[in-house]
Amino acid sequence: MKIAICPGSFDPVTLGHLDIISRASRLFDKVIVAVLCNTSKNPSFTVEERIGLLKEVTKDYANVEVDSFSGLLVDYAKEKGAVAVVKGLRAVSDFEYEFQMSMINKKLYPEVETVYLNTSQDYMYLSSSVVKQIASFGGDISNFVPASIHRKIVERLQKNS
Ligand code: PNS
């Protein structure tokens, strides 16, 4: 059973994330979408809310699970018996950081591979921060987040602004 981890902040999940998760679910037997708990970033959604949104948008994928983790990603990957960490690459600007992370993770735990999927063209420009900024100013985010969670995200982000 080949297990992959899709790690991230998912604050909130976007169509770009879902694109990567769904493509990973075709490549691996099981995909665990793992929300990072101990982030230094100041999140807009609690870990429980982010997990709830992710569960909602992945409910039709039989081999996708949603979970959270704290500490090192490689320790979590080891605990879950994962063979790969799957990340989306949007642009050259993502590369340097991702490259450093994959090198460090490889040193810490050589058994796990980092697999990059190029983001689909439609989502090259998309990020959770862009979604948050647009929604907080009352802009239309319907092209950026899954329809099933659109209302929840708008309600929360407008409340915060
Ligand atoms: O969605 P993000 O914020 O780009 O996700 C980043 C994430 C969660 C993949 C990364 O911050 C991470 O793996 N954090 C866990 C701590 C860790 O293992 N760091 C690498 C060694 S310093």
Atom number of ligand 1 nearest to Cα 41: 3
Alpha carbon 22 to chain centroid distance?
11
**Cα 111 to Cα 30, 35, 39, 74, distances in angstroms:** 17, 22, 25, 9
User: Which residue out of 9, 25, 44, 128 is catalytically annotated?
Assistant: 128
Does the Cβ of 7 fall within 6 Å of ligand 1?
A: yes
| Average pLDDT in the chain | 94
In angstroms, the CA 77 to CA 46 distance is: 23
pTM: 0.95
Quote the pLDDT of residue 35. Answer: 98
- The answer to whether the CB of 103 is under 6 A from ligand 1 is no
How much is the average pLDDT of 55-69? Answer: 98
